[in-house]
Amino acid sequence: MDTLQLLFNTVTVVFIATTMFTAGLGATLSALRAVFATPALPLLALVANLVVIPLLGWGVAVLFGLSTAAFVALVLAASSPGGPLGAKLSMLKGGDAVAGTTTQVLLAAVGSVTFAPTANVVLSLAEVGGGVSLDVAALVRTVAILQLVPFAVGLVLRHHAPLTAQSWHPVAARTSNVTFVAVLAGMLLGNWQAVVALLGSRTLLAGLVLSVVAFAVGMALATGGPARRTSMGGVAAVRNAGPVLAAIGIAFDNDPAVLGAFAGVLLSGLVAAVPIVAVFSRRWGDGGG
């Protein structure tokens, strides 16, 4: 592994951990209980992200007539819920950060188990790719270490030492913000050739469309007011890259075509999701509609 790749991986780990730690510092047990007080919210989020969006990924891939590599990349992305960027988007002004981060952690945990069989079923039914074989236990451990543990530590600190949590929160949030920008820049710079090669193809448009439709599904299959629905839309629009990269490495031997297509899908999805969530969050944050 070269130095730049190691640096990027390190920054990505720091971003994920600090984002979830920040979310924990800003949450309270009473607020978390309120999120799950009505089971409809987590249940609808699971249906949207584990069932509806993977099927939409299949449909979008067929609609745009994607090549095999792009088809595989889009289905893998659609089958992998709980991206940490979703928690980040829910922290924007006007968003429901507690509901967003709690749901994101839930989806990441459940998705680590469902991702491989879901992607395998869709690709098999579509007769595309060679199937996905992943170490589910390894994925669960990764999610636990990078997402569940930092969130729990922050939550415990907030509950038992609120003044310390309050003083640490701005530093953790700034670290999360800086590493967020670094991760986006690293993805773009590290895969720019593959992304440029996709210009003029339907892959980037398919990734953008999937993100927009996923946002709409996340909002529609949610309970609560506009702020919470916006956060649920943002969580749904951002997919979890970790399991997908593992799948491409294990099941497709790091096929450059699949890797490049996934980078394009992920980046085009972010291009759509970030401004949509920002506009909606600002609207509710300013007291609009």
The per-residue pLDDT for range 170-207, each reduced to its tens digit, is 999 899 888 888 887 777 677 677 777 777 789 999 99
Residue ranges making up the domain that contains 222: 3-285
By the 8 A CB rule, do 211 and 265 touch? Answer: no
Question: Which of left, alpha, beta for 70 (phi over 0: left; psi -120 to 50: alpha)?
Answer: alpha
Cβ neighbours, 10 Å, residue 11: 18
C-alpha to C-alpha distances, 238 to 22, 151, 226, 255, 263, nearest whole angstrom: 19, 19, 19, 23, 13
| Count of the separate structural domains present in the chain | 1
Task: Supply 225's token pair.
Answer: 């007011």
Percentage of the chain exceeding pLDDT 70: 93
Q: Please report the sign of the dihedral spanned by the C-alpha atoms of residue 58, residue 270, residue 67, residue 258.
A: negative
Tokens for 173, please give them: 């949030």
How high is the pLDDT of residue 64? 95
How far from the centroid of its chain's Cα atoms is residue 232's Cα?
11
Nearest CA-CA partner of 214 in 199, 198, 194, 236: 236
Determine if residue 160 is left, alpha or beta; phi over 0 gives left, psi from -120 to 50 gives alpha, anything else beta: alpha
pLDDT digits (tens, 9 = 90+) for 225-272: 888 999 999 999 999 887 888 788 778 877 888 888 888 898 889 889
Beta-carbon neighbour count of residue 43 at 10 Å? 12
Give CA 125 to chain center in angstroms. 25
The mean per-residue pLDDT over the stretch 53-72 comes to 95
- Cα–Cα dist 165/22, whole Å: 9
Mean pLDDT of the chain: 86
CATH code of the domain in which 150 resides: 1.20.1530.20
d(CA 9, CA 54): 27
245 compared with 218, residue with greater pLDDT? 218
Do 142 and 112 touch, CB atoms closer than 8 A? yes
Place of tokens 């450059």: 256
